Amino acid sequence: MPTTLVLESANDADLDLLLHLAQRLGVKATTTPLVKTSDAEQARLLDEFAGSWQSDEDGTELARQIREARYFRDRDVEL
């Protein structure tokens, strides 16, 4: 079963050593360059991915509505 292992080397010498060891062990090893994004780009991507909640109620009101909507009753469960 193929398994992916992600290693973050401290420097290029360590990366070369790990790649050489993988080659000696007969393990397929590939590298991909690290893509750095700015804090603003990370925030934009997070907003795009997660979205945001838009409502007229504030958080306290939403929490109150959720608590009041809960329904508790005895359940008759046979195991």
What's the pTM?
0.40
Q: Looking at residue 29, what is its pLDDT?
A: 87
Q: pLDDT tens for residues 39-62? A: 999 888 888 888 667 788 888 998
Domain extents in the chain: 12-69
Q: Looking at residue 25, what is its pLDDT?
A: 92
Looking at residue 26, what DSSP letter applies?
T
Identify the sign of the CA torsion 6, 10, 11, 13.
negative
Report the alpha-carbon angle 76-77-79, nearest 5: 150
Q: Looking at residue 79, what is its pLDDT?
A: 80
Report the alpha-carbon angle 23-27-29, nearest 5: 75
